[in-house]
Copies of this chain bind each other. A is one copy, B any other.
Amino acid sequence: MDVTAVLNTLLHGNQLKRSARTGWVQRGVPNAENVAAHTYGVVFAALVLAQVVEAEIDLGKALAMAVLHDLPEGLTTDIPTPAWRYLPPGIKSDVERMAMHEILDDAAYRPQFMAWWEELHVSASPEARLVHDADRLDLFIQALMYEQQTNNRHLAEFWAGAPLFHYPEAQALYHELRRQREA
């Protein structure tokens, strides 16, 4: 084991604990969660969804994808949508891929981690779709909590659309969150 490379990976991962979720901060949520806490929420939601969907899920792959899904933000921070609009389409994936390469450096597991990462971005596998649903579920759960705890009106825009989830179970959970919000 290359101690330097592995510790380097871990320290980059630690950086997510110091990376705010920009969407909350820009809307004035006090003490908004960081990317590490959000990532936990996604891994947890993925673990739960994996138990309830009908598709056969490779749990190790799904949870690995979930924990890696925002790792580049340790280097780039959570750049908000308004900024990406000014950049060429598709460049977000390129930026994140380069960040992943820098984070993983010479570590022996780089090919494996990059493979999971790419598979997540293609969204073709059952595991990738599960993680995307988990990512959005954590977002809506958190938005509802912040609304119930601060009545922040700037969060209403998160609920403006009608998101389509890949799995009907995730869709049902979203509808229940929405129902509770309107209650």
B-binding residues in A (CB < 8 A)? 1, 3-4, 6-7, 9-11, 13-20, 22, 25-31, 33-34, 36-37, 39-41, 43-45, 47-48, 51-52, 58-64, 67-68, 75-77, 79-80, 82-83, 86-87, 91, 94-95, 98-99, 102, 107-109, 112, 137, 141-142, 145-146, 148-154, 169, 172-173, 176-177
Contacts and interface: CB of A to CB of B under 8 A. Distances in A.
B45 A17 contact: no
A47 B75 contact: no
Nearest to A78: B77
Contacts of A31: 30-31
A98 B9 CA distance: 35
A1 B169 contact: yes
Copies of the chain in the assembly:
6
